[in-house]
């Protein structure tokens, strides 16, 4: 008897991984790699698209370091497809920059902005 049988009553692993091909042979199907999402993102891109008002806006918030190594909160906004406005705000440390980024993102979401991947 071969190590792989053709008995259809055998339990296959939940979630895939092994599938039957034609005949008696089992074929291993690769699973997609797990993706870890950041708990505290350092960059957020939000969009607000309302065609009835001819409105296509974006708002991007990013934590970065300036030339001297200080932590800066960079904010860019404008109409999609046009040049943007930009504002740099110095922060005391990385933690305060994360707090400011989360606060700004929450306010923009309350005003109708959505994450960029959700707007598509």
Query: Rounded CA gap, 76 and 62, in Å?
Result: 9
In a domain, 90, yes or no: yes
In a domain, 3, yes or no: no
Q: Strands 26-28 and 85-90: what pairing?
A: unpaired
In a domain, 109, yes or no: yes
In a domain, 111, yes or no: yes
In a domain, 68, yes or no: yes
What pLDDT was estimated at residue 118?
47
Average pLDDT over residues 67-93: 93
- List the domain range (segments joined by +) for residue 73: 43-119
What pLDDT was estimated at residue 29?
72
In a domain, 66, yes or no: yes
Select the more confidently predicted residue: 16 or 84: 84
What pLDDT was estimated at residue 21?
53
Sheet of 114-115, strand order: 85-90, 71-79, 55-65, 43-50, 114-115
What pLDDT was estimated at residue 39?
67
Query: Rounded CA gap, 119 and 10, in Å?
Result: 44
C-alpha 28, offset from chain centre: 29
Q: Is the model's pLDDT at 35 over the cut of 90?
A: no
Average pLDDT over residues 37-61: 89
Burial tier of 103 (Cβ tally within 10 Å: 0-12, 13-18, 19+): exposed
Q: Is the model's pLDDT at 97 over the cut of 50?
A: yes
In a domain, 32, yes or no: no
The number of distinct structural domains making up the chain is: 1
Average pLDDT over residues 23-35: 70
């Amino acid at each position: 008897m071969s190590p792989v049988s053709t008995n259809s009553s055998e339990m296959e692993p939940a979630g895939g991984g092994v599938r039957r091909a034609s005949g008696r042979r089992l074929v291993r199907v690769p699973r997609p790699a797990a993706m870890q999402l950041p708990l505290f993102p350092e960059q957020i891109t939000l969009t607000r698209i309302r065609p009835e008002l001819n409105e296509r806006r974006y708002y991007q918030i990013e934590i970065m370091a300036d030339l001297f190594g200080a932590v800066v909160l960079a904010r860019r906004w404008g109409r999609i497809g046009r040049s943007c406005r930009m504002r740099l705000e110095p922060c005391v440390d990385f933690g305060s920059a994360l707090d400011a980024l989360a606060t700004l993102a929450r306010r923009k979401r309350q005003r109708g902005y959505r994450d960029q991947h959700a707007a598509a």
